[in-house]
Amino acid sequence: MEVDFNMVQRTKQFFEEIGDLSHFAARFFKQAVNSPFEFKELLRQCYQVGNRSLLLVVTTGFIIGLVLTLQTRPTLIEFGAVSWMPNMVGISIVREVGPVITALICSGKIASGFGAELGSMKVTEQIDAMEVSGTNPFKYLVVTRILAATLMLPLLVIFGDLIALYGSSLVEFFKGNVSFRLYFNKVFEALSFGDLIPATIKSFFFGFVIGLTGCYKGYKTGRGTAGVGIAANTAVVMASLLLFVVDFIAVFVSDIFYEL
Amino acid sequence: MKIEDKTVPIREAPTSEEIVIKIKDLRKCFGDNEVLKGFNMVLRKGENLVVMGKSGSGKSVMIKCLVGLMAPDSGIIEVLGKNIDQLDQMELDELRSDIGFLFQGSALYDSMTVRENLEFPMRRHRKKFEGITDTLPLVKEALENVGLAHTMDLMPSELSGGMKRRVALARAIILKPKLILYDEPTSGLDPITSKEIIELMRNIQHKYGTSALIITHDVDCARVISERMILLVDGINYAEGTFTELIGSQDPKVNAFFKK
Ligand SMILES: Nc1ncnc2c1ncn2[C@@H]1O[C@H](COP(=O)(O)OP(=O)(O)OP(=O)(O)O)[C@@H](O)[C@H]1O
Ligand SMILES: [Mg+2]
């Protein structure tokens, strides 16, 4: 019986959390369109987001490109279709693997960073101090961070895609004697706007989800320093989970468009 | 001295004297935790009023209600002649530019240098600085007041606790407020540093003629700085008087504060 009770409690908590998060998102949209705009802080946050995650995105992208190509090669050879490698790898990276891997890496880095930053500002009363200084802390801290994540994620995804393709082309160069030029020609031949546009739109949403959950968890941190760790940790968990939900919806929607 | 009980209205100020803060029947609870149960207080112009209370008695809650950081459940709060409850955001911000707030834990922005910390309140309260484009002299003046002009380009993490408190004090006075609220200005500091901070508070008071509300549980601090004291016990203004009046009291609850 106790277990049952727990489940009910947890489900209730889960939906309450979703409600809170939606409320937080609504507040973001309301404040994002009202002046004054914190442009300087937005730029600083964009730089921070990019700077923090670039190296990670590059490393994972490169490895994913290598691994994907190495593992697919034997199968394609078996079917005598190894010349299709650039098409296959290109499409899977641009449409799915690139955005999802980049977003996951960034949720580990950015969402937890936002959660910890805002959380520690909250418990040390820095957010209160901002408020009494006449600066709207939600606007200054939250709106800029969510916007920065939303704007920067697509750029990071494109960057990650290119690096992954480069990794893949290296394998083809050394193992299949395919020149870089030929490889990339084939990739770009295979890709259409129908691949690029949904992937880019999806990336914006990924960025938004990462920024939103990170800030939400940080801004709601309870009293005491223990709250900061919890905020950072739950931010990553929640962001990663929501990323997959968004991904599912995105794939579902773009599939409908594809059929039309 | 005389012990106020709930039914006796607190000593009204003579009509000729200007009242800076007036709190009437302030109540605030968090869930089942009734923190303030009808707190009354008056602060007159140029006065140093100390509010003493045990840890967790709701001193910080009271002072946060004063500047609109927390909304009370009920009660009337008037600061500098304005009813906090009836102000819109703009008016509230304008009122806040006349109030300096020293937070319990200093609350310096840890991603900014000392100079940026001091400049932050000037971002929005520009009206007060009509025509001033160079903020450096103001920052310098505020830092010189607390004897830390050389720390201008340091980060808060490079400062000791006592230095942080002094920088926070400089930040609180940079807008030349009419009223300063100190939330435990000496907590967590050694006796010598505490003395220095108290000395600084007195200098500032002398130099700028501000009124001050000082929250503390440090008896030495109260002795030196208070002109009048209020004891916050069980959520109400339990007793009121000068330091000497209160220390001679026979009431056990009052006595408990002064026992070594
Ligand atoms: N945001 C909040 N949410 C829930 N409870 C709170 C909140 N802020 C304060 N409290 C509760 O209100 C009570 C008073 O807290 P407050 O911080 O005002 O104490 P204090 O008198 O300032 O004590 P200290 O001297 O330790 O600073 C405590 O029991 C605290 O748990
Ligand atoms: Mg306190």
- CA-derived radius of gyration, chain B: 18
DSSP state of B236: E
Q: Buried b / exposed e across B30-43, counting CB within 10 Å, b at 16+? A: eeeeebbeebbbbb
Task: List beta partners, residue B213.
Answer: B49, B181
pLDDT of residue B128: 66
Ligand 1 centre distance from Cα of residue B178 (Å) = 27
CATH number of the domain within which B59 lies:
3.40.50.300
ipTM score here?
A: 0.86
Element (H, E) at A93: none
What are the tens digits of pLDDT across the range A76-130? Answer: 999 988 888 999 999 999 999 999 999 999 999 999 999 999 999 999 999 999 9
Size of interface A-B (CB pairs under 8 A): 47
- Find the mean pLDDT for residues A24-33: 95
The DSSP line for B80-124 is TTEEGGG--HHHHHHHHTTEEEE-TT----TTS-HHHHHHHHHHH
* Within-domain flag for B189: yes
Q: Tokens 């490393």 map to which residue? A: A59
Domain that holds residue B34: 19-250
A interface mutation test: which of B65, B66, B91, B103 has the most A CBs within 10 A? B103
* Within-domain flag for B6: no
More confident residue, B193 or A25: A25
CA-proximal residue: ligand 1, atom 24 (nearest): B55
Give contacts of A124 with chain B, Cβ < 8 Å: 105, 107, 110
Separation CA A69–CA A3 (nearest Å): 47
Quote the number of domains for chain B: 1
B138: buried, middle or exposed (CB in 10 Å: 19+, 13-18, 0-12)? middle
Residue A229 has pLDDT above 60, yes or no: yes
Give contacts of B142 with chain A, Cβ < 8 Å: none
Provide the residues around ligand 2 (an ion) whose CB is within 5 A: B 60, 104
Interface of B with A in 72-111 (CB under 8 A): 93, 96-97, 99, 101, 103-105, 107-111
Give contacts of B103 with chain A, Cβ < 8 Å: 125, 128-129
What are the tens digits of pLDDT across the range B77-104? Answer: 999 999 999 999 889 988 998 999 999 8
Select the residue of B97, B104, B105 nearest A134 (Cβ to Cβ).
Answer: B97
The pTM score is 0.89
Report which of A186, A188, A215, A204 is spatially closest to residue A246, judged by C-alpha positions.
Answer: A204
Select the residue of B97, B107, B125 nearest A125 (Cβ to Cβ).
Answer: B107
DSSP state of B135: -
